[in-house]
Amino acid sequence: MAPHFGLTVPDLEAAIHWYVSILGFRLLTGPLEVSEQDSDLGKAAQAIYGKGFEQFRFAHLATPDNIGLELFQFKATPSQPNENNFQFWLGGYNHMGLTAVNVAEAVAGVVAAGGKDRSGVLLINPQKGYEIAYCQDPWGTIIEFCSHPYVSMWEQAGDGAPKS
């Protein structure tokens, strides 16, 4: 299993530079831009973050042993209902990601164990069958399940992913 994790940062370019030059990550793709109104990724992001995120930029990096890191920089800071504890616009932790051969089954397992399905299963690349789903554990930790290994999904992101 090759996991990945995501962090929200205030300056995407500075964070990319730091993780590459200081920690030895490599840049897979990005920065990419996603808005609420465009593309399959925009629709998926709206299902994940809800309405009001407006636009964000993100990049995909990986460690030498292919542990992935997504870095996010959000444009807007929307107001949210109190029951939503996924504060994606704050610096720091965004989510952890795990590969699951059957994404729907993984989501069902989280829900059965007292967690929450945040997005349902989202098809982000119909040509390749790439699916993702966001869940929440019983304590609020956000977990993303990906149908395929992280690096294979994003290293050649030119097919379907928006470019900045």
> What would the pLDDT profile of 129-160 be if each residue is shown by its tens digit?
999 999 987 767 788 989 998 888 988 776 55
- DSSP letter string, 19-87: HHHTT--EEEEEEEEEETTSHHHHHHHHHHH-TT--EEEEEEEE-TT--EEEEEEES------TT----
What mean pLDDT comes out for the span 59-68? Answer: 88
More confident residue, 117 or 101: 117
User: What pLDDT score was predicted for residue 77?
Assistant: 47
Binning pLDDT at 50, 70 and 90, where does residue 83 land? Answer: low
CATH number corresponding to 4-154:
3.10.180.10
Binning pLDDT at 50, 70 and 90, where does residue 47 land? Answer: confident
What mean pLDDT comes out for the span 88-95? Answer: 78
What mean pLDDT comes out for the span 10-37? Answer: 86
More confident residue, 44 or 85: 44
Following CA atoms 19, 23, 25, 27 in sequence, which dihedral angle do they give, to the nearest 10 degrees?
Answer: 30
Mean pLDDT score of the chain: 82
